[in-house]
Amino acid sequence: MSQQTSSPITKEADPLSKGEIFDVLQNERRRYVLQYLREHGGPVELGDLTSEVAAMEYDCCCEDVSSAQRKRVYTTLQQTHLPRMAEASIVEYDADEGLVTTTPQTEELTVYLEVVPSGEFPWREYYLSLGAVSLAVIVVLWVGVYPFTLIPPLVWATVMAVLLTLSSLYHTFLGREMTLTEFANARDGDHED
């Protein structure tokens, strides 16, 4: 029986809890590790992984990563992120050999990276823009610029509050629709076939 390099672990790991999934995905460096492993598989040497993660983090090519940047990434991967990911069976990390290998759990988490791609609607920017427009309207009303003064300030405040509330409701609805639990349940249903 031949073993694939993308998932060399033969033991069956327990499914990840929602808390473990959030814990791993909340850190950008761990997301970069998963993204690299999703694209290139494993096993991968820690030095190569460090260069790739640093390049992603500093938005440059591997050759342009400074030794200080590389060292910062290497240190946190080696001492914090990879041991934590290995403890949850998300990757297999051999510190002595400096090798990182994928596991079935790696594949499970890369599905969540695909569900929430980097090209997702920029909600932070939307809310920042909405706040900026609201402040601009307040300044224009305060200064008394015509034709904005034709509409009473309370109406402007109501329009902005309604717009913010509707946006938040829509964003909340979208978030609930894409909960990790639903995706995990759907994925579990696929494995039962």
Using pLDDT thresholds of 50, 70 and 90, give the confidence band for residue 154: very high
Q: What is the pLDDT of residues 48-74, one digit of tens each?
A: 888 989 998 888 888 888 889 889 999
Would you state the pLDDT for residue 90?
81
Using pLDDT thresholds of 50, 70 and 90, give the confidence band for residue 92: confident
Inter-axis angle of helices 104-115 and 180-191, nearest 10? 130
Domain boundaries, the chain: 18-115, 123-177
Question: How far is C-alpha 132 from the geometric centre of its chain's CA atoms?
Answer: 26
Q: What is the pLDDT of residues 94-146, one digit of tens each?
A: 888 888 888 877 777 766 665 444 445 667 788 888 899 999 999 999 999 99
Mean pLDDT score, 3-28: 60
pTM, 2 dp? 0.52
Would you state the pLDDT for residue 165?
92
- Please give the Cα distance from 66 to 64 (Å, whole number): 6
